[in-house]
Amino acid sequence: KAKKQIGTNYQYYIADMEEEMAERLALLRMLRQDFSNDRLELWYQPQVSLKNHQVVGMEALLRWPQANGQFISPAVFIPLAEYSGLIVEIGSWVLEQACIQVKKLEQQGFSELRIAVNVSMPQFRNHGFVQSVIDCVNRYQVRPASLELEITESVVMDEPKIVIEALQKLKSFGIKVAIDDFGIGFSSLSYLQQLPLDRIKVDRAFIRDINQAVGEVIAETIISLGKRLHLSTIAEGVETKEQEQAVKAMGCDEVQGFMYAKPMPPDELLLFLQQQKRD
Ligand code: C2E
Ligand code: MG
Ligand code: MG
Ligand code: MG
């Protein structure tokens, strides 16, 4: 009897799994279709200096709008795009859009802004990646230092050799590198030494919990680690004045979060920047 019971559960389990996989495949098919029909959007979230409260740059974030006006979260579709390899094509579109955007802003009089782009592991595995980034920067005549690549700890740990080598080449071309979501992955600190980093992004989780002892000590440790390594630090997910005060007191250089601005489409970003300039 017990055996039969297990067998039955197992069948349900398989059925659930099949259903879930079918759903994911359907979503991936939709993503592929919408991407090739140019329906993905790149939005931008400002990054602000804590020294003078000026906008110093922005992070490019993918948006996948649906017919009902909602968006499917990148947390849902990015892993699918990574798994399927579609992220290689999407990622090169993102880079191109980011270069176009930074050039446009430069022409509007915002010449000092940098743009940060998230990069996934499959992009690094693609042999032409380094050259394609350089080509993109050259094609749109963007200052290399205005482009920053964001990589997570898991990307580094996955294939340290490939990633370090690619980043070193990009770095010598003048492109900036930030380590994203720092502290939640399990990176070996020894890789920090080998990575040509410019910036550490303190993960949102520690900013959220900064009023608790553990969050506070972790945020503080990451920020002082950045200082000791002569890297710039930026706190992600700053939503309140208290959080801003806390990271400022810790010596953090920059902030990014809903308190300043949510990610927004390019035309809104321009209005936002013009407004900031007037204030
Ligand atoms: P991420 O790179 O860590 O991006 C920051 C995320 O935090 C964004 O979520 C942003 O909207 C959110 N965020 C910013 N400030 C706040 C805040 O104050 N409070 C809260 N609750 N959230 C805040 P989003 O846009 O949903 O993106 C999620 C993740 O998807 C990104 O995390 C990144 O890993 C990935 N992603 C987004 N666009 C791209 C892309 O173009 N390429 C790749 N490879 N990954 C991307
Ligand atoms: Mg990021
Ligand atoms: Mg992040
Ligand atoms: Mg993240």
CB atoms inside a 10 Å sphere around CB 168: 15
Q: Is the minimum distance from the CB of 148 to ligand 1 under 6 angstroms?
A: no
pTM: 0.95
Token digits of residue 165: 């080598």
Please report the atom of ligand 1 found closest to the CA of residue 259: 18
List pLDDT tens digits, range 11-47.
Answer: 778 888 889 999 999 999 999 999 999 999 999 999 9
Is residue 183 lining ligand 1, measured as CB closer than 6 Å?
A: no
Ligand nearest to the CA of 79: 1
Question: By three-state DSSP, how is residue 238 classified?
Answer: coil
Residue 230 backbone dihedrals phi, psi, to 5 degrees: 60, 40
The ligand 1 atom nearest the CA atom of 117: 41
For residues 187 and 153, is the Cβ–Cβ distance under 8 A? yes
Task: Give the 3-state DSSP-derived string for 53-75, with helices as H, strands as E and coil as C.
Answer: CCEEEEEEEEEEECCCCCEECHH
| Digit-coded pLDDT (tens) for 150-189 | 999 999 888 999 999 999 999 999 999 999 999 888 777 8
Is residue 74 lining ligand 1, measured as CB closer than 6 Å? yes
Considering every ligand atom, which ligand is closest to the CA of 73? 1
- Closest Cα to atom 4 of ligand 1: 61
Q: Beta strand pairing status for 55-65 and 41-49?
A: antiparallel
**CA distance linking residue 271 with residue 113, whole number of Å:** 15
